[in-house]
Amino acid sequence: MQLLKRFGYYFGGFAIGLVLLAFFLNGRKASCKFDYGPDARVLKSINSKQLIYSIEAQDFMKNKSIDTTQINYILYKGDINFSKSESRKKPCGIYFVEGEIEQKETALIIENCKEKAFIKTIKFTN
C-alpha cells in the first residue's frame, strides 16, 4: 500500500473518531481542561460545588460593590496560596485563594467541604 493512502486512511479514521467523541461528550460535564496542577484541581473542586457566602463575606461584597461574577472569576483564574492554606484540615480544608478585582489584590478564604464550599472571608490585600 502506498504511503499516501496510509496517511489518508489514518487521518480519515482520526477525523471520524473526533466527530464521534465530540458527539458523545457534547452536553455532558466532561472537560478537556488541563487541571493536573494542585491549584487547578482545588479550584475545579470548589467550582463544582454549591457556593455558600458567609454573612461577613456578603457584607464585604455589599460595602465594596463586588458582584458574584467577580468572585467566580477569581475562583476560575485565581491562585491558591498553599502556605496560608490548611488543606489537610478535617473535615473541610481551608484554602487561601488570591486574585484581582478592579486592579486590587483580593483574597478569599474558602472552606472546601465534601458537598459544599463556604466562602468565609473576602478581603483586599494591598
Q: What is the pTM of this model?
A: 0.71
Phi and psi torsions of 104, nearest 5°: -120, 130
Question: Confidence band (pLDDT; 50, 70, 90) for 14?
Answer: very high
Q: Are 93 and 111 in contact (CB under 8 A)?
A: yes
**Residue 111 pLDDT > 90, yes or no?**
yes
Domain boundaries, the chain: 1-30, 33-124
Instruction: Provide mean pLDDT across the span 89-100.
Output: 91
Of 1.10.8, 3.30.2310, 3.30.70, 1.10.246, which CATH number belongs to 33-124?
3.30.2310
Tens of pLDDT, residue by residue over 36-94, are 788 888 899 899 999 999 999 999 999 999 999 999 999 998 999 999 998 888 889 99
In angstroms, the CA 44 to CA 86 distance is: 17
Higher pLDDT pick, 29 / 97: 97
